[in-house]
Structure 1
Amino acid sequence: MLNKAEKFKKVILVGDGAVGSSYAFSMLQNNGADEMVIVDLKEDHVRGDVLDLEDVLPMTSPMKLRYGSYQDAADADLVVITAGVPRKPGETRLDLVAKNARILESIVKPIVKSGFHGVFLVSSNPVDILTTITQEISGFPRERVIGTGTSLDTSRLQVALAHKFDVSTQNIDAMILGEHGDSSFAAYDEATVEGRPLRMVAMEKNISDDDLAQIEVDVRRKGGQIIGLKGATFYGVAISLMRLSKAILYNQNVVMPVSAPLTGQYGLKDIYIGNPAVINASGIAKVIEEPLSDNEIDKMKKSAKQMAEIVMAAK
């Protein structure tokens, strides 16, 4: 009998835009699954993308790749949702949530109806709020609905700190927590550089609190900067989706900051927010309560409050 790591692994990708196609390419390069079915309203585009992607199969992994429909989710292990619309000039976050919530409903309901009983992985924005809505629409246990959360923000923070401290990104242990958005924050009080407390190393290198605060601001603005220069961001979140997918499909017990459902951590519950969690074949195996400082706990609560208000207003 095959165990969880050996069984045939099938992924449904919903949304074949820049993020979706980058994710599919990353999965092919990293032996991510045995089969991937791509679903999108733009049928010709998906068919063309499948033809383009399958050309790399002989040089990467022998994945079965095809265009399909929501009914293909019946025996899938994982559904990855990248579909959604971006925010337009003059549009409020509530407007964006309302539009993408309607899109989610049109996706999630038929997938659940197909008999799907795997894990939902969401990257559509605003990701924490849409992950919350996906769980509510699906009725799935909270641990089987995950969002990419602050995994991308954390990568951006690690890159910025590596530049500032002149070390490899591999030697930075620091995370962005809270909402994937304006109310996120850098958990500097627990961060380390080359295994030593970040704030201690910062003092030695004459890196001030103002310098660290500016890095935090720059990390929040980086997505907008990339969009302004090239129209969209997709490589970072695609790799994040790939890593999370493999953790689920191969039962890897990977710790990443994701849109995680809080159940009392930091005095918060009934909301998804960027926080580290253990990811494996069951989805979210454990939500980790970080030993945050009082100031950081206040920031986490403020972030959660802002998101909860938007979720309630969208209902």
Structure 2
Amino acid sequence: MPPQSAHLKGIKIVIVGAGSVGVTTAYALLLEGLASDIVLIDIDQNRAMGEVMDLSHAAHFAQARVRVGDYEDCAGAAAVVITAGVNQKPGQTRMDLVKTNYALFQDIVPRIAKNAPDTILVVATNPVDVLTHAAHKLSGFPVERVIGSGTAMDTTRFRHELGRYFGVHPRNVHAIIIGEHGDTQLPVWSLATISGMRLKDYCAQAGHPYNEEELEACARRTKEAAYEIIQRKGKTNYGVASVLVHVLEPIITDSDAIMTVSRVGTYAGVQDVAVSMPCKLNRRGAYQDVPLLLNEKEQDLLKKSALSIKKVIDSV
């Protein structure tokens, strides 16, 4: 039994969408022992039942129940994760999916809110920032209880790239991506550190070359990673599922973890828009307690990112 299971009896997590991301998230939840009741909701109930039958064999070792449900089963859920929607295809941007997936949210979000008025919504469907805003409006939930996975995935990819460049484990790299989960995302170079030192200082102390072109290449590969993965295998699922579980963990355990997630607010003077910034996550939702000390260039890029999302929000 995973070590946390004994403390998390009665925790229900609902996943709307039994596609690759939803099912991989359910599997990761099982392995982490974060929930005792995992419910899959999908329009294709036969497919969902097949996934549940398969997952139940893993649940045998994890001491959890996995089942197919409907929106009434959202009642009492600690969180409802929305992964349903049309997937990004090779050559598409995340924003290309907006109209189809927005229409889907118009159907499913009010049904979730009706049956689980106190739950926390975690949005993974792309374009995630636009749909996080949509979920907030359609649910009527306060902003802290509607959380988009946002740039948590990009931040993970960024630390992976920087870790490879500097030859250290990604967990020892403290660097974040903020703004849009998409083409206008921005790395916060001014606050990036390793061993408590800014990157230039770390390089000087460690005898490692500091090459701005190489670092920019790390950021570029971060931004383009999903496109390359989709071109090669048609989808992304493992990385985003692991990020979703790490978003859910502080919500379930009330552990005040800080992650870069998307939330509706005002950013760089742009009002009523969802972009990713570091937020404190706990059982009450996501809170932006400490503003980032961005330099002037980063503030300008954040505003550009927020305006690009706002333009799409206003068009749907």
TM-score bracket, normalised by the shorter chain, equals over 0.9
Question: Alpha-carbon deviations, 1:24-56, whole Å to 9, x = none?
Answer: 000000011121110001111110111101101
Match for 1:240: what amino acid?
V
Residue 88 of structure 1, CA deviation = 4.8
Runs of 4+ in 1 over 4 A off after TM superposition: 88-95
Residue 7 of structure 1, CA deviation = 6.7
Contact map agreement 1:9 1:76 (CA 8 A) in 2: yes
User: How many Å separate the matches in 1 of 2:179 and 2:95?
Assistant: 18
Indicate the residue corresponding to 2:32 in structure 1. 30
Does residue 311 of the first structure (1) align with residue 310 of the second (2)?
no
Q: How many residue pairs are counted as aligned between the two chains?
A: 308
Question: Alpha-carbon deviations, 1:158-205, whole Å to 9, x = none?
Answer: 010011011111210000111000000111110002221013334652
User: How many Å separate the matches in 2 of 1:296 and 1:29?
Assistant: 38
Q: TM-score, normalised by structure 1?
A: 0.93
Match for 2:303: what amino acid?
K
Contact map agreement 1:76 1:116 (CA 8 A) in 2: no
- Which secondary structure state, in structure 2, belongs to the residue aligned with residue 38 of structure 1? strand
User: How many Å separate the matches in 1 of 2:153 and 2:78?
Assistant: 24
Does residue 295 of the first structure (1) align with residue 290 of the second (2)?
no
Does residue 223 of the first structure (1) align with residue 226 of the second (2)?
yes
Distance 1:38 1:138, change over 3 A: same
Q: RMSD of the TM alignment (CA)?
A: 1.8
Indicate the residue corresponding to 1:170 in structure 2. 171
User: How many Å separate the matches in 1 of 2:51 and 2:94?
Assistant: 31
Does residue 232 of the first structure (1) align with residue 235 of the second (2)?
yes
Does residue 124 of the first structure (1) align with residue 142 of the second (2)?
no
Match for 1:211: what amino acid?
E
Does residue 251 of the first structure (1) align with residue 236 of the second (2)?
no
Does residue 41 of the first structure (1) align with residue 33 of the second (2)?
no
Match for 1:39: what amino acid?
I
Distance 1:86 1:14, change over 3 A: same
User: How many Å separate the matches in 2 of 1:91 and 1:29?
Assistant: 32
User: How many Å separate the matches in 1 of 2:94 and 2:229?
Assistant: 20
Indicate the residue corresponding to 1:282 in structure 2. 284
User: How many Å separate the matches in 2 of 1:295 and 1:130?
Assistant: 27
Map residues 178-197 of structure 1 onto 2, 5 A cutoff.
178-197=179-198
User: How many Å separate the matches in 2 of 1:222 and 1:115?
Assistant: 35
Does residue 8 of the first structure (1) align with residue 14 of the second (2)?
no
Contact map agreement 2:90 2:231 (CA 8 A) in 1: no
Contact map agreement 1:262 1:287 (CA 8 A) in 2: no
Contact map agreement 2:77 2:116 (CA 8 A) in 1: no
Match for 1:177: what amino acid?
I
Residue 308 of structure 1, CA deviation = 0.2
User: How many Å separate the matches in 2 of 1:95 and 1:182?
Assistant: 12
Contact map agreement 1:275 1:288 (CA 8 A) in 2: no
Match for 2:172: what amino acid?
N
Contact map agreement 1:123 1:148 (CA 8 A) in 2: yes
Distance 1:93 1:48, change over 3 A: closer
Range 151-160 or range 278-287, more displaced: 278-287
Map residues 27-176 of structure 1 onto 2, 5 A cutoff.
27-59=29-61, 61-88=62-89, 95-176=96-177
Residue 269 of structure 1, CA deviation = 3.2
- Which secondary structure state, in structure 2, belongs to the residue aligned with residue 112 of structure 1? helix
Does residue 208 of the first structure (1) align with residue 223 of the second (2)?
no
Match for 2:229: what amino acid?
I
Match for 1:288: what amino acid?
V
Q: TM-score, normalised by structure 2?
A: 0.92
